[in-house]
Chain A
Amino acid sequence: MPLEIQVEKKLADFALGVSFAATDEPLSILGPSGAGKTMLLRCVAGLEQPDRGRIALGGRVLYDSERGICLPARQRRVGMLFQNYALFPHRTVAENVAFGLRPLPAAESAARVSTFIERTHLTGLEQRYPRELSGGEQQRAALARALAIDPEALLLDEPLSALDTHLRSQMETQLLLTFAAYRRPAVLVTHNIEEAYRLCSHMLVLSRGRIVATGAKEEILRHPPTVEVARLTGCKNFSRAKAVSENTVEAIDWGCRLRLAPPISKAPAYVGIRAHTIEFVEPSAAEISSENIFPCWLMRSSETPFRITLYLRLHQPADGSEEFHLQAELFKEKWARFRERPYPLHVRLSPDALILMQE
């Protein structure tokens, strides 16, 4: 029962124009703030009307500009999880979950409410009001409420953005279980690549209202087609590139030549490398320059509890104003083995780790 979405809508400073289908595998829509992600979800839910397009869920047409169809939100049977939960503050958890079950007989409604309260681990909190719940509990109550109506598709708008780290991982587990049991189109909007990666098998990258990449998440992460997609998926290091030979490029901004791993279908315009794939090595004299190994100097660093980010300059020591070439990220224990070494340090930009991009 696929969810087919084809939407055009003029927004304040760009136009939303997308066409894709969500299958029964959960799909994440990744994009920076203001890329049109939320607007897209709202069009599917029936809270906004597109200018043109067609939205169909299974055999049902929810919206079709050509045929003049636009079902109101209440008839779409699309569950929506709002970023701020939108739990009714004047109703208890149980009353919130029961809200969408009005057409059912009271006994059946009560049974469904307790099923979903149990499934979202809210047992015992039925009579609480939303303000008496923690953020994670509120989010689970909102999930129970959306699922209780047996929606034919589930839309989640930044479901984890308001939660702290601990609750976030709990809620991720809850969502993974939900998706596994749901087996219907589920679309999750996020600006967080880790969230998108952990929760969904398929990914769609949106930028200024356009789809810039779509496919299996591993494929998008390994071979982002453009600099923009690479950046959105967390790649930090980029350099303009110029082909030198069949499997060698000149990395203009990094001032070095890089050997590439075959096969190379097309000469790349840019080359990039993810911060955590940069390796620190202790090369023999012969290895230097032949194996994508370069001397580097540390400009500055920043630490998180377990990792360290190193801002590196290639080829020569820093002399004042110059900026860094690469940022590398590694676990502190690993860094501890290199930090006391005399300069220059050496990094290896493995051909397998290099990302080749057009534009």
Chain B
Amino acid sequence: MDWSPLWISLATTLAATAITLIAGLAAAAWRERRTGPMMALVDGIFLLPLVLPPTVVGFLLLLLLGRNGPVGKLLLRFGTTVVFSWPATVIAAAVVAFPLMYLTARAALEQVDPHYLQAARTLGASEWRVFREVALPLAWPGVLAGTILSFARALGEFGATLLLAGNIPGKTETIPIAIYFAVEANDLKGAAIWCAVDIGLSLALLAGLYHWTHAQGQGPGRIRLSRR
């Protein structure tokens, strides 16, 4: 049996979650300090991948990143292309998971009592330090929840991935895509095995995260990114 879909799914999901975490946090932090009518539009754009069917997201990404798309043309000049390559699976999964991270991170950051941030400022901290050492650790439980949601969403990503990355065994074939093509080829046993793998993988990862967050949550104030 070819186990490559498992490794591709894992690598794709981890990479996409990492990108989503950083992009979602940055977008949430940037958005939090702004108000105005334009921000409703910004929110709309940020949340669009959550609302649109994944096939629409995949098609739009294809238009953007394809050989004739604005970003695709730029990449061609550097002699590279992303569509139908492994990075395409990461991009598709990251874009689709982004709104979940953005929403939860914003809610988590908004719940941090602004007095903590103000106290940090009067103590001479730069805005980056206020974010990194005060806002983020205090918002961490929420950010972690967003990360878990994003991870789950990226692991299950199918439609946008298929459109942007195709089904290239050993390269872009993730578990959901492997299941789809197994069923299409009437290989029900293969589909069932991949389903079982997917369920096992999801449960194991969620259980691991659960235990990790609880270990972190033990003892007062132990909500922090890392120990210095």
Contacts and interface: CB of A to CB of B under 8 A. Distances in A.
Contacts of A87: 119
- Name the prevailing secondary structure of the B interface residues: helix
A47 B220 contact: no
Contacts of A78: 122
Contacts of B138: 88-90
Interface in A68-95: 72-80, 82, 84, 86-92
A40 to B, nearest CB: 15
A314 interface: no
Contacts of A92: 221
Nearest to A83: B115
Contacts of B116: 86, 88-89
Nearest to B124: A74
A217 interface: no
A82 B124 contact: no
A74 B134 contact: no
B159 to A, nearest CB: 40
Task: Determine the interface band of chain A, counting residues with CB < 8 A from chain B.
Answer: 20 to 34
A132 B220 CA distance: 8
Contact of B125 (A74, A84, A90, A129): A74
A145 B123 contact: yes
Contacts of A74: 121-126
B91 to A, nearest CB: 34
A73 B121 contact: yes
A76 B122 contact: yes
Nearest to A72: B121
Contact of A99 (B123, B220, B224): B123
A86 B123 contact: no
B137 interface: yes
A99 B121 CA distance: 10
A1 B138 CA distance: 37
B184 interface: no
Given A88-B134, A100-B123, A149-B124, A73 B220 contact: no
Contacts of A100: 123-125
B124 A103 contact: yes
Contacts of B122: 45-47, 73-74, 76, 78-80, 146
Interface of B: 113, 115-116, 118-126, 129, 133-134, 137-138, 220-224
Given A72-B121, A84-B113, 17 more contacts: A46-B121, A47-B118, A47-B122, A73-B118, A74-B124, A89-B138, A90-B221, A90-B223, A92-B221, A99-B123, A100-B123, A100-B125, A102-B124, A130-B221, A131-B220, A146-B122, A149-B124
17 contacts: A45-B118, A46-B122, A80-B122, A82-B119, A84-B113, A86-B115, A86-B116, A86-B119, A87-B119, A88-B116, A90-B223, A99-B120, A100-B124, A103-B124, A130-B221, A131-B220, A131-B221
Identify the 3 closest CB pairs spanning chains A and B, nearest first: A100-B123, A129-B221, A73-B121
